[in-house]
Each structure stands twice: as structure tokens, then as C-alpha cells.
Amino acid sequence: MIKIAVCDDERYFRERMNKMLTEYMEEKGYCYDITDFKSGEEFLKATVQKMDYTIVFLDVNMKEIDGIETARAIRCLSADTYIVFVTA
């Protein structure tokens, strides 16, 4: 299963990314799970014990902990997770 995290502080962009990913994954017939996070902080709190996401989509500009800082923390937890930066 491909586990995907979408981390963006704007709901519109989380929903849009979720919709695009869902359409793509279903078209390709992949088994997947998508989880949305409202901030880098929320994402890191949820994954502090175990990083089990295959791909993480990170908004570059977020309040508190931005996408770059979140990516650095991800790398401390896992070298195998793919990180994709997105921004409006």
C-alpha cells in the first residue's frame, strides 16, 4: 500500500491535492491511503513514533513549522520517504 501525506495549511489546497491524487491512484489501480495535515507541526506530532508514509506532499509556506523544516525532520526519521514540495 502506498501511504501518502498531504500537509498544507490551506484547506482548499489540501482538498485539491487529495482529489488529484485520488483520481490518479484509482486510474492506475494502486492501493493507497491519503491523510491530510493542517500544519507541519500536526504532521510531525502524528509521525514522531514512526514514519510510515511513502510520499509526503509539503506546502513550502506554512505558519509555525514550514515545509523545509518539516522535510528536515522527516529526513531525521526516514531516508526512504519521498518528499514533494508544493506551493501556490
Mean pLDDT of the region 50-78: 92
pLDDT at 49 over 80: no
> Distance (Å, rounded) from C-alpha 3 to C-alpha 81?
10
Residue 58: all three cell numbers together: 509539503
DSSP letter at 1? -
- Give the position of cell 483520481: 23
Residue 6 to residues 32, 33, 37, 80: CA-CA distances in angstroms?
A: 13, 11, 6, 17
pLDDT-derived band of residue 51, with 50, 70 and 90 as boundaries?
A: confident
pLDDT-derived band of residue 22, with 50, 70 and 90 as boundaries?
A: very high
> What is the residue type of 68?
I
